Amino acid sequence: MSKSNLEIIAQVKSNEVQLTSVDIQKLNETEMTSLVAALQTNTRLSSLNITYSTVTDAIALGLGQGNFSTLIACDCKINDDGFIRLLNNTNLTSMTLTSNRVSEQGVRTLSQHTQLTSLDISHNFLKDAGSKIVADHPCLTHLEIGGNMITDEGIRALAKNTQLCRLYLYENLFTSDGIKMLANNSQLTTLNVGSSMLKASAAQILATMGSLTSLSIQTNEIEDSGALALATNSNLTRLDVSGNVIRDAGAQALATLNNLKVLLIAGNYIGNVGAKALANSTCLTHLDLGNNIITNEGGMALAKNTCLTRLHLSGNGINDEGAKLFVQNRQLFFLSLSTHNSQIKRETTELITRCTHLNKKVKELRLIEQIIEIAKGCRISQTSPWRLIPNDIVIIIFLYIAGTNLRSDKQIAQTCLFLLATIRPSAQGQLNWNSNRHKSTFFKMWNEQELIDVRSRDTQPEIVGAVKSSTIISETNFSLNM
């Protein structure tokens, strides 16, 4: 057992360290047995990540006696019996069990565990029979069930669940008929139907779902006609149509969406005409145009956009001359411009990196100035939960906002006031959420502003890294219980 693993397990066992979240992956059976023993006496831990570890039925039984509310156990070889034993933990509200060995037999008692509100059981062996059982759960609001060989039959059951708000169905076997069934569900706000061999007809149906704010239909066979249909859904704030067959006409149509903040349209056939149309958008803040057919002409238009903070242009025909156009952009925090044939010089890439980093620092400084004033105003009230907390600690919390796309004083003030209302200081000077509902609401707000899926294992480290990179945070002895 490595020293770091030993130290973490010792901290879990002590129950004295302010440890609420543990990420301790790739444990063998012996190490997992030690961790399970340590968990028996721990009452503080709320989140446990043991991805790529060995979880036998006996270990699952021990984990089922824990007190934590969030479990991430991807690729742990968990079978049906193991899953059932994990559910013995009645504190669990969120489970991520991607790439395990759970079938319909494992989920047969799932509906009895009403405390569970979030479940990621993608890439298992549920098929239609298992998806029907999961669909009967009365309290799930977030479900990821991709890669489970689900056909229209299983979709019919899932579409009837009106508690679900976020549904991820990528890499399954349903058709446009299944999409029609989903269109009858007016509660869904987030839907992912990527990698399902869908055509433009499916996009036309999805366009009618007015409740959707986030739609992922990546890696399908959507053409311009499908993009034109999606452009009629004005409620969309995030759209992923990467890996389809969309050309300039489709891009021009999507550029007219007035509420769209994030558009992922990489791996299509967008040229300079489509790039110019998207460059004229005053709503988009995150745009991925990687692996299209854009040259310097389109790059010039995008470089003049003053709203984008993240722009991906890798794999296009932009050369060194075109890349230099982005040096003058003062809004971009991230810019990807690499090409397959290295048309962009190293010194140009380094210059752009310095400029985008400076842009972010300038925005943080401006936000800090505004946040200080807001914090001081809140401090006047004797009932303010921040009145006993130093200013620099208040600023650290509000620096979470610096990673978002908030620009106006009103937006910043609203978010700050929300934080003040939902986070409370503990006697030890730490911060705790008043309830899981407040915590999930905050992350929903974060999701709407940053327009990335904060629950995704691919994007969450990016947020954590951005927070930890702050000089103020790294120099201050402070922890936030999230």
3-state secondary structure 214-238: EEECCCCECCHHHHHHHCCCCCCCE
pLDDT interval class at 365 (50, 70, 90): low
pLDDT digits (tens, 9 = 90+) for 351-361: 888 888 777 76
Q: Are 67 and 41 spatial neighbours (Cβ–Cβ below 8 Å)?
A: no
Q: b vs e for 335-372, b when ≥16 Cβ sit within 10 Å of the residue's Cβ?
A: bebbbeeebbeeebbeebeebbeebbeebbeebbebbe
Q: Are 283 and 260 spatial neighbours (Cβ–Cβ below 8 Å)?
A: yes
Region 234-247: mean pLDDT is 97
Region 33-62: mean pLDDT is 94
Region 249-267: mean pLDDT is 97
pLDDT interval class at 15 (50, 70, 90): confident
Region 132-158: mean pLDDT is 97
Q: Which residues pair with 125 in a beta bridge?
A: 103
pLDDT of residue 437: 47
pLDDT interval class at 231 (50, 70, 90): very high
pLDDT of residue 371: 58
Query: Measured between alpha carbons, how far is 250 from 246 in angstroms, rounded to an integer?
Result: 6
Phi-psi region of 114 (alpha: psi -120 to 50; beta: other; left: phi over 0): alpha
Q: Is the dihedral of CA 218, 220, 223, 226 positive or negative?
A: negative
Region 217-240: mean pLDDT is 97
pLDDT of residue 21: 87
Query: Measured between alpha carbons, how far is 162 from 221 in angstroms, rounded to an integer?
Result: 29
Query: Measured between alpha carbons, how far is 97 from 323 in angstroms, rounded to an integer?
Result: 42
CA angle 238, 120, 161 (to 5 degrees): 75
Query: Measured between alpha carbons, how far is 336 from 349 in angstroms, rounded to an integer?
Result: 9
pLDDT of residue 422: 54
pLDDT of residue 4: 83
Region 36-50: mean pLDDT is 92
Q: Which residues pair with 168 in a beta bridge?
A: 144, 192
Q: Are 314 and 342 spatial neighbours (Cβ–Cβ below 8 Å)?
A: no
Q: Alpha helix (H) ranges present in 200-309?
A: 200-206, 224-230, 248-254, 272-279, 296-303
pLDDT interval class at 462 (50, 70, 90): very low
pLDDT interval class at 237 (50, 70, 90): very high
